[in-house]
C-alpha cells in the first residue's frame, strides 16, 4: 500500500462539497417536528419503514384457512362413528366406495415437506426492542405440504399451501 500513500494524501486533500444551508434547515425542521413516525421507527429504527406487503400474507392466510376448513370437513367425515355393522350375508352386495366410512378411517401423518422457492435478503434492519441491535432480515417464500396416508387402504390426503418466513440474524459491528 506504500506506493499509494502519496495518492491517498492527494485524495485526502480533496474536499467533498459542503452541505448547503437548506439541508441544515430541513434537518432542523425534521428534528423539531414531533416524532410523527415514532411507531414506525420503533420497528425499524434508522431505516425507512416500508409498508409491509400484506398481499402475500393474506394470500397465505386465505389458502391456509381454506386448507384447514377442508381438513376439518374431511376429518368430520373420516372420523365419524362407524355405522353399525350388519351381519354379513353371502348375498350382501359390495358396498359402494363412496359410502364406505372404513375406507377413509385410520389416516396417519406420512409426510411434511417445506420447499423454499424464493429467498430474499432484505438487508439490515434494527431490532424493534433493542434499537442499537442490527439484524439482517431474510424472507423465505415456501410451500408446505402435509400428507396423510391410510396404510391399510392406501388412501392418502395431501394439503399444500404457500407460506412466508422472515428470519432475523444479529449482525455485530466492531
Partner 1 sequence: MERTLDENWKTCFAQLGPALLLFARRWANCRADAEDIVQEAFVRFWRRQHSIENRALLYATVRSTALDRLRSDQRRARREAAVALDRDEHSEPCFSTADEGQQLLAAAVERLPDEQREVVILKVWNELTFAEIATVLEISQNTAASRYRYALGALKKSLQPHE
Q: Which of 62, 77, 123, 170 binds partner 1 (CB under 8 A)?
A: 123
Among 2, 13, 34, 85, binds partner 1 (CB under 8 A): 13
- Among 27-35, 60-68, 83-91, 161-169, which window interacts with partner 1 (CB under 8 A)? 27-35
Give the count of alpha carbons within 13 A of 38, CB side only.
Answer: 5
Nearest to 64 by CA among 168, 170, 163: 163
If binding is defined by CB under 8 A, does position 169 make contact with partner 1? Answer: no
Cell 434537518 found at: 27
Interaction of residue 39 with partner 1, rule CB under 8 A:
no
Task: Give the total of residues touching partner 1 (CB under 8 A).
Answer: 41
Choose the stretch contacting partner 1; rule: CB under 8 A; options: 69-77, 81-89, 124-132, 153-161.
124-132
Q: In terms of Cα–Cα distance, which of 150, 64, 70 is closest to 109?
A: 150
Distance CA 65, CA 157 (A): 17
Is 159 in contact with 145 (CB distance < 8 Å)? yes
Tell me if 14 contacts partner 1 by CB under 8 A: yes
The span from the CA of 56 to the CA of 131, in Å, is 28
Site residues (CB under 8 A) for partner 1?
1, 4, 7-8, 10-20, 22-24, 26-28, 30-32, 35, 41, 45-48, 50, 123-126, 131-132, 134, 171, 173-174
Amino acid at each position: 500500500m506504500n506506493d499509494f500513500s502519496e495518492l491517498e494524501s492527494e485524495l485526502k486533500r480533496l474536499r467533498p462539497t459542503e452541505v448547503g444551508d437548506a439541508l441544515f434547515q430541513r434537518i432542523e425542521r425534521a428534528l423539531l417536528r414531533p416524532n410523527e413516525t415514532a411507531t414506525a421507527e420503533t420497528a425499524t429504527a434508522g431505516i425507512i419503514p416500508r409498508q409491509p406487503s400484506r398481499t402475500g400474507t393474506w394470500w397465505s392466510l386465505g389458502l391456509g384457512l381454506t386448507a384447514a376448513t377442508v381438513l376439518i370437513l374431511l376429518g368430520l367425515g373420516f372420523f365419524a362413528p362407524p355405522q353399525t355393522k350388519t351381519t354379513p350375508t353371502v348375498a350382501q352386495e359390495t358396498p359402494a366406495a363412496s359410502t364406505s366410512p372404513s375406507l377413509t378411517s385410520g389416516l396417519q401423518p406420512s409426510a411434511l415437506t417445506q420447499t423454499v422457492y424464493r429467498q430474499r435478503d432484505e438487508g439490515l434492519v434494527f431490532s424493534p426492542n433493542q434499537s442499537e441491535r442490527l439484524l439482517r432480515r431474510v424472507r423465505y417464500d415456501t410451500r408446505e405440504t402435509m400428507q396423510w396416508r391410510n396404510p391399510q387402504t392406501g388412501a392418502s390426503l395431501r394439503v399444500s399451501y404457500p407460506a412466508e418466513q422472515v428470519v432475523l440474524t444479529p449482525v455485530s459491528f466492531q
